[in-house]
Structure 1
């Protein structure tokens, strides 16, 4: 059953992440594509994660839950996983079973069914370039993160950009393939647009780029 308010583009994009794809994700995406195509090794994403994660943590766009699986939390964590894809949620929850995470199936563009102002950190790694729409639409994800965070809480993550950063021919080609299949929605995702949307919800923020990946972190 579709989650409430999930439109066709959102549903089509998340459906690509089936069990077979998820089994290959850590190797193909995080190990090979990050380093060779997007030119941002996963260790930089992990460093960003480790620097910002808190004990009460909200994970938006779960993937394979690689980063919460390998990071060192500052205290025994209370983790909430949010994703529209039920297979992704099951795989992530199984990987993090030692933490007994809460699973919520929801569209990150809609108001999230979580307690406002209660999380120490919100992560969104490799999520925004998969979210349909332009930056004004994707800005809803930052607003939802801000609403979930306690004062002083941290939001952080990464996204693949198509403008405002150096993009190789190989990266441009692969993004074209993924966009044509509805897996990516980042043909208009540029650095200035990301900065504007992040600043709209988090005046205290920082963005660094490596290859055509933007790594961001901010404080509520």
Structure 2
């Protein structure tokens, strides 16, 4: 069992303050994704457009870019936001205020309870690589997801892998810096390990690697 401290949990999300969030779309989803992680934001948006439901929970909401731009199946979806970072929650809530989102501030490694109806889709974009520990530890997040997903619901998202690929020099340098600071904890994250953790809990597991990014989806059996 990995010994993870609250300080380690906080390190992965404390960086997302108001100034960082204001620049997130351009710097992270624009420049970093395209040129360093080698996966365009449009590829992640396509995943949202394909899999998002009108009864959706987003976990680790970042700036809310994908929720703001994706095509929901209806004009008035039930949308819930979950994050430990209050700035991210508030920033995204304002951005998608037209959907009157539910807000849940949670440490997803410990608790993802919502105290109400379950969800038909759960999005988890660029969250896993910010959680401390290996996939063997952070896989507990998938257990928590199952508890609040309806039968047949889909979990989908993306994460930056830290092992098994060959990042370019700048990507390797940035990833190393993020890991030293605790912003990332993905040094040993591989495509194989992610697939194994998803397959333990879900069916119809699909995983594609674009550059350094793994795009994944999985379905909860009925």
Q: Is the 8 A contact 2:158 2:213 kept in 1?
A: yes
Structure 1 position 64 matched with structure 2 position 63? yes
In structure 2, distance between residues paired with 1:11 and 1:164: 27
Alignment match, 1:173:
173
Q: Quick one: distance in 1 between partners of 2:54 and 2:115?
A: 15
Q: SS of the residue aligned with 1:201?
A: coil
User: What residue is the counterpart of 1:44 in the other structure?
Assistant: 43
Superposition map of 1:174-213 within 5 A: 174-213=174-213
Q: TM-score of the superposition, structure 2-length normalised?
A: 0.93
Q: Does the Cα contact within 8 Å between 1:117 and 1:147 map onto a contact in 2?
A: no
1:74 equivalent to 2:70? Answer: no
Contact 1:125–1:158, Cα closer than 8 Å, also in 2: yes
Is contact 2:125-2:159 (8 Å) kept? yes
Distance across 1 between alignment mates of 2:128 and 2:116: 21
DSSP 3-state at the match of 2:184: coil
Unpaired stretches in structure 1, ≥5 consecutive residues: none
Mapped partners of 1:66, 1:116: distance in 2: 26
Q: How many residues align?
A: 216
Q: Aligned partners of 2:115, 2:14: CA distance in 1, in Å?
A: 27
1:146: how far off? Answer: 1.6
**Counterparts of 1:144 and 1:117 in 2: how far apart (Å)?**
15
Deviation at 1:203, TM superposition (A): 2.6
Q: 4+ runs of 1 displaced by more than 3 Å?
A: none
Of stretches 142-151 and 160-169 in structure 1, the one that deviates more from structure 2 is 160-169
Q: Does 1:118 align with 2:112?
A: no
Change (3 A) 1:116 1:219: farther
Asked if structure 1 preserves the Cα contact closer than 8 Å seen for 2:113 and 2:148, the reply is no
8 Å Cα contact 1:165-1:191 kept in structure 2: no
SS at match of 1:158: strand
How far apart, CA to CA, are the structure 1 residues paired with 2:113 and 2:203? 25
- How far is 1:164 from its partner? 2.3
Shift of 1:13: 2.0
TM-score (norm. length: structure 1): 0.94
